[in-house]
Amino acid sequence: MVTRIAIIRHGSTSWNKAGRLQGYSDIPLDEEGLEQARKLGLRLAGQPWDIVCSSHLIRARQTAAIIAEQLGIDTIWQDQRIGEAGGGLIEGTTETERLEKWGPDWKLQDLGMEPNASVLARGMSFLDELVAAEKGKQILIVTHGSFIRQMLAHLLPHLPPPPPMKNTSITHLELTEGKWECPLFNCVEHLESAS
């Protein structure tokens, strides 16, 4: 029995465009982000999805709501464990601002960022619970770029480290007999169409 999961990064926000790190900050989708979510919903409509899950942050919730409406799914499972990695003091800053304030080794400093181990622990807690309870289902998870990259690096250690995730990109994961595979990665085909 195969459990299929599609991990989706939320649509674009004004902070994405400005290059500002969002982390726990609750930034809504911008107009383009709403349109990206609509296009992804149209792409997924007609496919047999059973469940839509979302991070608790508004940019993910808005993306999930638009997709769920297109799929005719009334309930969205919301969970803080699939929220974005916390950025601590660097939230709201651009790379240029970080270099000016903390210098080129800012990544090595303790600026209150959530440790990778914490992100993975909560993410795997959610995922393990989900696949145990919903074995064989087709599940959409709407979440965040850094969170997705950390989870993929953990679940698919045989693959190169994932590059940055595109807004409303879809990545397919399949769990068969305890082994994860990734037949589709960071795909934004829906944004490249004329519609």
Q: What percent of the chain is predicted at pLDDT more than 90? A: 91
Looking at residue 36, its pLDDT comes to 97
Domain count across the chain? 1
pLDDT tops 90 at residue 116: yes
Which tokens sit at 45? 């409509």
Cβ neighbors of 58 (< 8 A, separation 6 or more) are 26, 27, 28, 29
Would you please indicate which residues are annotated as catalytic (active-site) residues?
A: 10, 84
**Single-letter residue type at 69:** E
Which tokens sit at 7? 């991990």
Confidence bin at 194 (pLDDT 50/70/90): low
Residue 43, SS3 per DSSP: helix
pLDDT tops 60 at residue 195: no
CA–CA distance, 85 with 173 (Å, rounded to integer): 21
User: Whole-model pTM above 0.85?
Assistant: yes
**Domain range spanning residue 104?**
3-192
Looking at residue 149, its pLDDT comes to 95
CA–CA distance, 58 with 15 (Å, rounded to integer): 13
Q: In this structure, what CATH number is given to the domain that contains residue 153?
A: 3.40.50.1240
Feature table: binding site: 9-16, 59
The mean pLDDT value for 26-52 works out to 96
Feature table: binding site for substrate: 9-16, 59
Looking at residue 43, its pLDDT comes to 95
Q: 116-133 and 145-155 helices cross at what angle (nearest 10)?
A: 70
Neighbours of 175 (CB within 10 A): 18
Interval 118-147: pLDDT, tens: 999 999 999 999 999 999 999 999 999 999
The mean pLDDT value for 18-45 works out to 96
Q: What percent of the chain is predicted at pLDDT more than 70? A: 98
Confidence bin at 1 (pLDDT 50/70/90): confident
